[in-house]
Amino acid sequence: MGLFGRRKRAEAEEYEPEYGEYSEYSEYDQDGGDAEPEFEGDLFEYAGPHDVAEAPDDGLSRLDLGSVRLPVPEGAQLQVELDQNRSVRAVHVITPLGQLTVNGYAAPKSGGLWREVSTELAEQLRGDGATVRTTTGEWGLELMAALGEVSLRFVGVDGPRWMLRGVVAGPPELADKSSHALHDLVRGAIVVRGTQPMPVRTPLPLDLPPAIAQHIEAQQQG
């Protein structure tokens, strides 16, 4: 299997994960195949997310983004979001079920950041006109939202000095399947918090593998 397995080229609507902020997108795709999204390895036997200090030897192939390592499913495209300084702000995983995004943040040792953040997030979504409700999932509190023709689901996990937040955005008719895809991605995630001090809520820095960075640089120069 290649770096990310086989990829399926598909039309994908671009959803803004944060509202009103500048972003620039660049897509990375590896040709070949038309496989449906699927993971290798056993996500349930070694269910995470895991801190890097306790990362299991589970046989999963993961995309190394520096602070987060993700088991990108087959059949996916990657979409890189850059900020105004051209630093990596997010890496979105585009699948036929929707757009999945997982990011890590610095958190207090006492934990509890996700509940605080989720309350603010729900208020923000409602302010944007979304219908929001809460549910209890694998890691506790989850948010489900409907905004126009988009169905959103947010999960959060409090770890040792980090919080991991995942979101999937997709068509309402695929909401159940897209939620399962998000849970799979979060289960297989490994977080590399690092030892440096960071203010609470600071996004953990993302780095691109050389092949993707070179691909984006070539796109920009072309």
Give the residue-averaged pLDDT of 149-175: 97
Q: What number of other Cβ atoms are within 10 A of residue 211's Cβ?
A: 12
Over the stretch 19-33, which tens digit does the pLDDT of each residue have? Answer: 323 345 566 654 433
Domain regions of the chain by residue span = 24-221
Q: What is the pTM of this model?
A: 0.81
Question: Distance (Å, rounded) from C-alpha 150 to C-alpha 31?
Answer: 28
- 190 vs 32: which has the higher pLDDT: 190
pLDDT at 11: 31
What does the pLDDT look like over 72-119, one tens digit per residue?
Answer: 988 899 999 988 888 899 999 999 999 999 999 999 999 999 999 999
Question: Which residues does 152 contact at the CB level (< 8 Å), separation at least 6?
Answer: 125, 130, 143, 144, 145, 146, 167, 168, 169
Give me 138's structure tokens: 């694998």
Determine the pLDDT at residue 6. 29
Residue 16's pLDDT band (cuts 50, 70, 90): very low
